[in-house]
Amino acid sequence: MGISIHIPESLDDRTVEAIHALVARCNAVEGLDLPISPEVGATTRLILAHLDGDLVGVAQIRYGSEAEICLCVDPPRRRRGVGRALAMEARDRAAAQGFGAALFVADMAAGSGRAFAKSLGAQLSFAEHRMNLDLSAIPPTPVPMAGLHIRPAIGTDAPGIVAVLVAAFGDPPAMVERFVAERIVSRSHRFLLGELSGRPAGILRLVMDDGWAYVTTFGVMPELHGRGVGQRMLLHAVAMLLADGQNAIRIEVDTTNAPAIGLYETCGFRRAHTFAYLRL
């Protein structure tokens, strides 16, 4: 029996458990932490590969400003074309959604992943550190900043959130508006808005995934860089999560973004894994 590729529209409990188990086996063999979770939606798709009736591979596509693909294949079933079949299907699926060359995400700890990406002809685009919070390294709470108010965002805050993100990252406003509109109403995403003298100053988003709280979509108005807004927002988020009993907290950052890495380290985060983003 050959390789069977399936793109589910929804997931039952049995499939979720099988995906969790497959990713866990792949992580255990090479000491990895692959960013693959059993979820499907408007911005996330899964591609499943079966061989002889067994789930042997999974690819996840995350649609944002670009299409990001991460995949894994059960170690005993490798070198049978499963990984290439998943990669090509994911690439074609991303192209059909209007994306150009997709990004293949590989944990730098994985020798197999680097070799596989090389075999596909993928070229390094950039890399990110995944940093985990060290509870023993959290600094004291900084003194309050006059006029700075940090609070959970609500639906009517969407225009202010968009304004901060467009200014901080330079992405097209229409794309950011769609991104925010979808997530601000989601129960699995929480935005924290920082306002300085009543005006939007910074934003971050909290996402739960497999027991971890991810701090992401973290930006501050460029004219406020260096004034401590980002540090206070990040430590506020950490304190809020810890108060809720959530101790597993992480953040991801471009390996070339030295100012952000320095900020995260001063707030108690430490490098755990590095992920390469390779252009397919």
Model confidence pLDDT, tens digit, residues 241-277: 999 999 999 999 999 999 999 999 999 999 999 999 9
pLDDT digits (tens, 9 = 90+) for 153-203: 999 999 999 999 999 999 999 989 999 998 998 888 999 999 999 999 999
Give the per-residue pLDDT at 66: 87
Give the per-residue pLDDT at 28: 94
pLDDT digits (tens, 9 = 90+) for 8-56: 999 999 999 999 999 999 999 988 989 898 988 877 899 999 998 899 9
Q: Where are the alpha helices (DSSP H) in 38-99?
A: 82-96
d(CA 229, CA 79): 50
Instruction: Lay out the sheet containing 249-254: strands in order across.
Output: 3-6, 44-51, 54-63, 67-73, 103-107, 269-279, 123-133, 249-254, 212-220, 199-209, 189-196, 148-152
Instruction: Say yes or no to pLDDT of 228 above 80.
Output: yes
Give the per-residue pLDDT at 121: 87
d(CA 130, CA 78): 27
pLDDT digits (tens, 9 = 90+) for 107-143: 888 777 878 888 888 889 999 999 999 999 999 999 9
Give the per-residue pLDDT at 277: 93
Give the per-residue pLDDT at 280: 80
- pLDDT above 90 covers a percentage of the chain that reads 78
Domains, the chain, with CATH or none: 3-121 (3.40.630.30), 133-274 (3.40.630.30)
Rama region for 52: left / alpha / beta (φ>0; ψ in -120 to 50; rest): left
- 264: nearest Cα among 109, 107, 130: 130
Give the per-residue pLDDT at 190: 95
